[in-house]
Structure 1
Amino acid sequence: MSFNYTDINESCYSEDGKSLSKVNDTSPHLRISAKCEIIQDKCFYQLYSLISFSFEENPNLTTIGSSSFYECECLTIFNLSSCNGLKLISSRAFFRCYKVSEILFPRGLLEIQYEWCFYQSKYKSIEIHNSFTTIGVRSFFYSKIISIKLPESVKRIENDGFHGCNSMINVTFLGAIDYIGNDAFNYCDNLELIIFPNTSMIVAGQFFISYPSPKVRMSFTCQTFFSSFLVIYRNANVSISYINKSDLIITTQLFIMNSNQTEIYGYWGLNTGLTIPKNVTTIKERAFENSNIYQINFNADSNLSVIENYAFRNCSNLYSFDFSLIALNYIGNESFKDCIKLTYVRFYSSDVVVMSNAFENCINLVNVSNITNVLDGCFSGCTNLTNVEIRERSRVICSKSFANCYSLEYILIPSSVQYVSEYSFLNCIHLKSIKFIETNSLRKISNRSFSGCNSLQNISNFESDKYKCIDNTIYYKNETGDYLTFHLNTSLDKTLFINCSVICSYSFNECNNIYNITILPNTVSLIEKYSFNNCLNLQHINFPLSVETVESHSFYECHSIRCPLIIENTKLDYIRMIVYSGIPRKLIFTCGVYHDTRKLETPYIFRKAATTFLLILYLK
């Protein structure tokens, strides 16, 4: 539609034509000079005759002053699209322009200032360009706008920015807003959808969601924080792209929950102390991950039973959490990993399942009590852990469950434990003593369970159907006999009497405190290879007639062996086997075990292996 525009009289402008001060022309369609840079306050104030205005080509307008089109009740359109230099629309500029149905902003506009700038205008759509930064106080107060998309450039929405926009159905944030004031969307009775940007942001204004907006739902692709409980004044529906759940809500306490409020999927507040509602049964995966919370509280009758994987991972300020809840029965993988201020863990129920790495790297954790079963890496890296109470009924202590617990000095293994896995106590450098109940249920223990425990001096004597420990030496038992599998190489034992069927490979690995080994008669039949690997201080060993086989390198790097050396079987092949095990040929002669060296020069094939050698050339 085209109109016949009347140029505004020059007398209405300043001498240089840059400022338009007051217009009383009753022509319905007015044209503003291209020279004009400022439309002064109240310039068209209550000009009831004005229906539309336009500009000469290439206008230089930068500012529309306060109340400049105040109560221009017949004005139907704000076409500012050609004013590319326009930066500011001041307060109440288009206040009560009831008939305006369309607004066209220029691309350079930065700010719509406060106080009813478009109060009660009836336009239904608006396009805000990507230069716009601020929506002022009550800018769109009680306007008839239906939907709005706020570009990435918008960083502030002041108090009541869209207050009372009863026709508004949806709002889209295309970028993070730095500040949203109080009541920004309050009393938008028909608001149905607020779409948040693909980046995190903080909403600080009170009553962002309130009772006068009963249908509103918020849609998120990133976690968004709300600064206080007054921001979300009533529970509201939400959809979150990375949570595959259709009935999510955000509560007034800023928990993301299912509609029944029994599951917590996240916490989107900024408070550091929280109370979990008593009807919550499950804290879902990653719900509080990386949160700044200090303390989690529970009601006495809490129904919490499940904490899923990673639920509190890297809550680096969390120092208090009550694990003694009666209903609690499951704690997921890495659920409290890297909670570096957590100091104490005590479980009430013996039925609590604590999964792998649940408390890994909780470096200030000191006390753990009443835990049932310790799974892989559960307390790995808890460098200040000093007291551990493993509950009776526990069956397993798994791989690396206490790895790098540098402050742990003592631990009691309950009689119910059946499996102690490899590296269970890896690098527990101050662990001095491990006590097993004298009669227990042990079915499997690894030779590497105590690797790196350089201060460990004592493993208590015990016996089960499958194992026994005597003098820090562990034997595996089966129907064919007892197998010596492990001797504690940091024990203070200097002399050891051995009564078993087989001495297994690496069972005395680097046992540098052992000086004297006595194999009792009619016991050992086989000494496996590397059994006494690198026992640098071993001086005396005997070979009773029961020892039928001594495998190659059984005494590898055992350079301190000396006379008396007792070898009861002096047959030539047997002596050759002893030499190949690592005991020097010269020592055998020196100790008077065998005298005819010429017979040792014949080739010998050891245990059917394809290794032929001249013993006269071996270890000269």
Structure 2
Amino acid sequence: MKNKAIYILTISLLLIFTQICYVYANLLPAVWKTTGNVTVDGVEYEWIDTNGVCYISVKNVNDATVLNVPSTVNNGSPVTVIRNFKKLTTVKEVLLPDTVTEIEAEAFSGCTSLEKINTPNNLKTINEKAFLNCSSLKEISFPEGLTFIGDNAFQMCRSLTEIILPDTLSELGEGAFSYCSSLQKVHLPEGLKEIKNNVFYHDNIKVINIPQSVTSIGARAFSYCSWFDHIELHDNITELGESAFCGCALKEIHIPAKVSVLSDNLFKNCDFTSIIIPEHIKIIGAHTFSGCYYLKNVEFLGSIDELGDGAFANCLALTDFTLPYGIKKVPDNLFYYCSELKSVTIPDTVTEIGGSAFYVCRNLKKINIPNTVEVIDSSAFSSCMSLKKAVVPSSVQTFGSSVFWGCSALESFIYTGNANLPSDMFSGCKSLKLALIKDNIAYGNLSVYARFAFSENEGEIEITSSENVDDVFIAPGTVYILDEKKYKIVGTDTRIKGDVNGDNTSNNLDAAILLKSITEYSELSLEEEIRADVNDDGVVDISDAVKLSNLLNI
């Protein structure tokens, strides 16, 4: 009985399944396909006709150098799609019939001897990699009516010198003409909205138009077009992608009014001598201008919210730089290897100086750090070999390692804040004569700290604590010889704040000297600068003059 029930259930399910299949078979459109072969001029082709769309491929080229593709096949159907002509290394010329509307993906890829191909009047679509590595292709015309060129369609067509794209083209795929090393002249159509990623990557373009319809230029679109020295960017453009012009020979640029972000590596390794950053730019990405070896002048017309790491690294011609108001951090590696940089103005919006920010700025002689800075990261001023004086405001709460590593000309370090000083902070500082610090060292006492922190100093150094040194190992005024080095460790700093000229009294003459140094930018000696820092913030400025005037009741 049980077996009979199972049998009936099985038969019922089979009937239901059969009915479902019948219904779906009647709902789906009929698909018919015929195939065949055709020979023209000794070349064998195979074709597939699917619902009236006829695809054609080469079956046997028989060493032919010219292919005359038929317009119809045996059943009378017109040839509409070019499918597989890959790696025909003997073919130099292809003649396509006007019946063709589409060239499929990779259709002619690897045809390294192909020099010439006509494009049919009815051609609408060239798919991805259609002519990939057709390295001998010297010219190709594009008919009006063509609407689509796919990704990497003409990549590595190294013999192309000029392309004129029709006004009907609405989409140009990523990398479409990348690595076309002979391509020098390009006409883009009005109506194209986007220049996509890598489109002309590593070409040698000299002349190109940017249509008014274009609103976006993609990442690496023109990267390493090494002869590309001029481009007109209109104000309809809203986005410039990462590395879009990296490695170009651009000497000047207009930044479109609707662009607010200069993306990472955007103008890296370009040939600018000067650049104006308009006020609508709010973000500058990492390495945006790095490697611009000829860049001498940078002007910011407005405030900047964010400045990326290494934005001006390896700009070897920079000598003076005023950082934009609004940034909170001098980014990591910002001026990395800017070997001619002599002076930098840091705004009082900055609270942090990033790691290696001024690394190997060999000609940087002086740096004014505003009293808003709280953090100086590792190696911030490493190998600044011309830096003689470092005055760090008391606002700094944290020092990274090796901040002044390799500053071989550094003679004085002045810091009256409470942050611990790492023991490797002054490695390679062979010329130090004065370190004015509190007894706030990373470990041990001042004499132990001196043994490690100043072990590479070549002469006598005065280490003056701004507070009494309460340490049984240190007697104020004693010269200690540690590892054959001399260290003069002094207890309390006895200098009188405001006594600029050092005559042991603070008076109107000191106020006049201080004011002159600020208004006329006259240079104070190291001793004078220490005494002139009346408010003890590590910086001599107008606030010190005001405080001294108040103390003297001037």
User: Where on the TM-score scale, by shorter chain, does this alignment land: which range?
Assistant: 0.5 to 0.7
Q: Displacement of 1:220 after TM fit? A: 4.3
Distance 1:526 1:483 in 2: 18
1:288 matched to 2:250: no
1:331 matched to 2:331: no
Q: Displacement of 1:78 after TM fit? A: 2.0
As a proportion of its length, which structure holds more helix?
Answer: 2
Say which SS state the counterpart of residue 274 (structure 1) adopts.
coil
Structure 2's unaligned 5+ residue stretches are: 1-36, 46-53, 73-77, 200-206, 493-554
Q: Displacement of 1:103 after TM fit? A: 8.2
Map 1:71-470 → 2, pairs under 5 A: 78=40, 80-81=42-43, 106-112=60-66, 122-125=78-81, 127-128=84-85, 130-136=87-93, 139-140=95-96, 142-144=98-100, 146-147=102-103, 149-158=107-116, 161-166=118-123, 170=127, 172-173=129-130, 175-178=132-135, 180-181=137-138, 184-187=141-144, 189=145, 192-196=148-152, 200-201=156-157, 204=160, 206-211=162-167, 213-214=168-169, 217-218=172-173, 220=175, 223=178, 227-228=183-184, 230-236=186-192, 253=208, 261-262=215-216, 264-268=218-222, 270=225, 271-289=228-246, 291-298=247-254, 302-313=257-268, 315=269, 317-320=270-273, 322-371=275-324, 372=327, 373-435=329-391, 441-446=395-400, 448-459=402-413, 469=414
Runs of 4+ in 1 over 6 A off after TM superposition: 100-103, 118-121, 237-243, 254-257, 482-488, 496-499, 515-520, 539-544
Contact 1:123–1:143 (8 Å) recurs in 2: yes
Taking CA–CA contacts closer than 8 Å with sequence separation of 6 or more, which of the two structures ends up with the larger relative contact order?
2
Q: Displacement of 1:217 after TM fit? A: 4.9
Instruction: Write the letter of the residue equivalent to 1:381.
Output: Y
CA 1:341–1:241 in 2, change beyond 3 Å: closer, same or farther?
A: closer
More moved, 407-416 vs 198-207? 198-207
In the TM superposition, what whole-angstrom CA distance separates every residue of 1:19-78 from its partner, at most 9, and x where no partner exists? xxxxxxxxxxxxxxxxxxxxxxxxxxxxxxxxxxx9xxxxxxxxxxxxxxxxxxxxx962
Report the TM-score, using the length of structure 2 for normalisation.
Answer: 0.60
Say which of 459, 468, 484 aligns to 1:523: 468
Distance 1:281 1:540 in 2: 62
In the TM superposition, what whole-angstrom CA distance separates every residue of 1:511-554 from its partner, at most 9, and x where no partner exists? 4433777889x93223799x97946343776999xxxxxxxxxx
Corresponding residue of 1:513:
459
Say which SS state the counterpart of residue 231 (structure 2) adopts.
strand
Q: Which has the larger radius of gyration?
A: 1
Instruction: Write the letter of the residue equivalent to 2:108.
Output: L
More moved, 346-355 vs 165-174? 165-174
Instruction: Write the letter of the residue equivalent to 1:261.
Output: T
Instruction: Write the letter of the residue equivalent to 1:377.
Output: N
Contact 1:255–1:265 (8 Å) recurs in 2: no
Q: Displacement of 1:426 after TM fit? A: 0.4
CA 1:433–1:323 in 2, change beyond 3 Å: closer, same or farther?
A: farther
Report the TM-score, using the length of structure 1 for normalisation.
Answer: 0.54
Instruction: Write the letter of the residue equivalent to 1:415.
Output: N
More moved, 335-344 vs 197-206? 197-206
Distance 2:354 2:289 in 1: 18
Q: Displacement of 1:230 after TM fit? A: 3.8
Contact 1:108–1:132 (8 Å) recurs in 2: no
In the TM superposition, what whole-angstrom CA distance separates every residue of 1:194-242 from its partner, at most 9, and x where no partner exists? 453595445846554202x445553548945593564433444779799
Distance 2:89 2:438 in 1: 88
Q: CA RMSD in A?
A: 4.8
Distance 1:254 1:225 in 2: 18
CA 1:344–1:352 in 2, change beyond 3 Å: closer, same or farther?
A: farther
Instruction: Write the letter of the residue equivalent to 1:152.
Output: G
CA 1:498–1:110 in 2, change beyond 3 Å: closer, same or farther?
A: closer
Distance 1:519 1:456 in 2: 19
Say which of 538, 545, 551 aligns to 2:486: 538
Distance 1:539 1:191 in 2: 79
More moved, 394-403 vs 369-378? 369-378
In the TM superposition, what whole-angstrom CA distance separates every residue of 1:93-149 from its partner, at most 9, and x where no partner exists? xxxxxxx99785633435328xxx66977543555353345554x833635464351
Contact 1:360–1:379 (8 Å) recurs in 2: yes
CA 1:232–1:108 in 2, change beyond 3 Å: closer, same or farther?
A: farther
CA 1:236–1:224 in 2, change beyond 3 Å: closer, same or farther?
A: farther
Q: Displacement of 1:150 after TM fit? A: 0.7
Instruction: Write the letter of the residue equivalent to 2:469.
Output: V
Distance 2:436 2:171 in 1: 81
Q: Displacement of 1:440 after TM fit? A: 6.4
Contact 2:359–2:380 (8 Å) recurs in 1: yes
Distance 1:104 1:492 in 2: 80
Distance 1:509 1:397 in 2: 23
Distance 1:275 1:80 in 2: 51
CA 1:349–1:294 in 2, change beyond 3 Å: closer, same or farther?
A: same
Contact 1:145–1:165 (8 Å) recurs in 2: yes
Contact 1:221–1:241 (8 Å) recurs in 2: no
Instruction: Write the letter of the residue equivalent to 1:442.
Output: V
Contact 1:297–1:321 (8 Å) recurs in 2: no
CA 1:506–1:350 in 2, change beyond 3 Å: closer, same or farther?
A: farther
Map 1:529-568 → 2, pairs under 5 A: 534=482, 536-538=484-486
